[in-house]
């Protein structure tokens, strides 16, 4: 009886996962494989289109750039927070998490106000005499990356703070007592032990960036179209559900592939990290 107790308890959750996660994804893939022109025809059509290949490559580039920048900013911020004593640490954590209390659309609109031609940044530059005409900051790849870094850095901080706090101070003190410089201690002790947090944070940021819709749509528009906005266009504007399903399937495959690559690289860097 005890042998089947675990299966009995996990059955309701398993059914929920199958019904609301596995079956919809399977139905999406089935839609792309059941076309009259053949099972792979939608995928050939996707990769034969210069526009769609460009959108895919742009999405990968933006997601990787967002992940790399968020890794650096989030890890350094988390390191400072983890080494801050007492009540000040709580305040810093609250300040890092506070942006998550606001919706994605609201935060994206805030960047419209900051980066617009008559926005805060251009107005400040003109007032300081740095430029006479406003810069075109919106509807560029840079504006999308900046906004998404702002969106996902709090997630990176949260995942790294817990890992950094779990590193015993004795290890750092032992490294210093053995003659290691602060830089060597950081690179050879702290960074390898923090690899699990970096992996989790990188996966969260990449998947969130790769599948984002609201931020690329508001700050990139048609000029910087990404996979999420392309899928929405095909489904809700063109009503081409096969193309939309194909885009969704490609996004799932690429996300899984990138996550596997990240995990493999992490194992090479630190076999004990994963």
> Distance of alpha carbon 178 from its chain centroid, rounded?
38
Residue 71 has pLDDT above 90, yes or no: yes
Residue 274 has pLDDT above 50, yes or no: no
The whole-angstrom separation of Cα 124 and Cα 131 is 10
Report yes or no: 214 and 104 within 8 Å, Cβ to Cβ.
yes
Number of residues assigned to the chain: 274
Residue 5 has pLDDT above 70, yes or no: no
- pTM of the full structure: 0.86
CATH of domain 59-269: 1.10.3720.10
Query: Which tokens is 248 given?
Result: 């969704």
* Burial bucket for residue 64 (CB in 10 Å: 0-12, 13-18, 19+): middle
Q: Which residue has the higher pLDDT, 124 or 173?
A: 124
pLDDT in tens, 194-203: 888 888 888 8
Residue 124 has pLDDT above 60, yes or no: yes
pLDDT in tens, 28-65: 888 888 888 877 889 999 999 999 999 999 999 999 99
pLDDT in tens, 150-171: 999 999 998 888 888 888 878 8
Residue 81: closest CA among 204, 189, 163: 163
The pLDDT-based confidence of 1 (bands split at 50, 70, 90) is: low
CA distances from 32 to 28, 50, 254 (A): 7, 20, 16
């Amino acid at each position: 009886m005890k042998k089947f107790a675990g299966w009995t308890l996990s059955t309701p959750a398993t059914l929920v996962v199958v019904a609301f996660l596995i079956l919809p994804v399977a139905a999406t893939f089935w839609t792309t494989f059941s076309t009259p022109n053949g099972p792979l025809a939608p995928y050939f059509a996707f990769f034969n289109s210069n526009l769609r290949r460009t959108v895919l490559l742009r999405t990968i580039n933006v997601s990787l750039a967002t992940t790399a920048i968020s890794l650096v900013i989030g890890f350094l911020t988390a390191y400072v927070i983890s080494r801050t004593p007492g009540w000040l640490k709580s305040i810093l954590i609250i300040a890092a998490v506070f942006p998550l209390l606001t919706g994605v659309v609201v935060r994206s609109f805030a960047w419209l106000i900051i980066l617009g031609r008559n926005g805060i940044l251009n107005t400040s530059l003109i007032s300081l005499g740095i430029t006479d005409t406003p810069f075109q900051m919106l509807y560029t790849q840079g504006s999308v990356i900046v906004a998404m870094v702002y969106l996902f850095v709090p997630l990176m901080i949260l995942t790294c703070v817990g890992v950094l706090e779990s590193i015993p101070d004795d290890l750092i003190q032992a490294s210093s007592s053995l003659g290691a410089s602060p830089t060597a201690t950081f690179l050879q002790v702290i960074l390898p032990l923090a690899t699990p947090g970096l992996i989790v944070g990188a996966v969260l940021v990449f998947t969130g960036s790769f599948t984002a819709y609201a931020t690329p749509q508001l700050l990139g528009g048609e000029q910087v179209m990404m996979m999420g906005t392309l899928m929405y266009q095909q489904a809700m504007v063109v009503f081409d559900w096969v193309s939309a399903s194909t885009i969704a399937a490609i996004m799932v495959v690429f996300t899984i592939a990138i996550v596997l690559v990240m995990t493999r690289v992490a194992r090479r860097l630190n076999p004990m990290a994963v």
